[in-house]
A and B are shown apart, each in its own frame.
Chain A
């Protein structure tokens, strides 16, 4: 069974640009969560999707948005990038809420 796939693995952007990250969950998993990981702040919850609906959102500005498609694949978008957005962005899928989360390898985003 293929794991969670995140693309791209690495990304370099400049301030003010926008970026879209992609996550393909494990087949059959309908819940997808996104996290931001930085050395200083640890793993911070961004949002969770289930059946194309965002069920919760973390404490991030509106520049961070996401969506989920009918095949459960998910994307997150960050607009007007800031230096502080440099981080590892992790996606995790699960069968449903309260179930073990399976993480992808992440997208490492660097802002210059």
Chain B
């Protein structure tokens, strides 16, 4: 019911290639947050999307919220080795409870 699926689970790319991770929910999301966790580190907040169809950019990162507010994506243009880590989406807030996606682990090969 409240699961948030992320695909792919793993992605290996050559440096300079693009990367996209998708977050899908079976129910409508009030908002969605994206986090990045470097190996051995803790999740770091990237962005929050609230409005249907919203698109936000942060340098090489583009975040989208679906029109139906049931899915979201994170696209990285021209990956760099510093992009390595696991990217999580988090749905919420429900009743004061965030549900994190399964995460996409990105490896960038130099």
Contact = CB atoms under 8 A, between A and B. Distances in A.
Interface of A: 33, 35, 42-45, 48, 50, 55-56, 58, 90, 92, 97-98, 100-106
Interface stretch (B54-62, B65-73, B77-85, B87-95): B87-95
Given A43-B88, A90-B43, A103-B42, A33 B102 contact: no
Contacts of B44: 103
A45 B100 contact: yes
Query: Which of A98, A102, A106 has the most CB atoms of chain B within a 10 A radius of its CB?
Result: A98
B99 A90 contact: no
B98 A105 contact: no
Contacts, number: 53
Main secondary structure of the interface of A (DSSP, over half): strand
A55 B92 CA distance: 14
9 nearest interchain CB pairs? A55-B96, A43-B100, A56-B96, A100-B45, A103-B42, A56-B97, A48-B96, A98-B93, A103-B43
A48 B43 contact: no
B33 A100 contact: yes
Contacts of A45: 97-100
A105 B97 contact: no
Nearest to A42: B102
A100 to B, nearest CB: 4
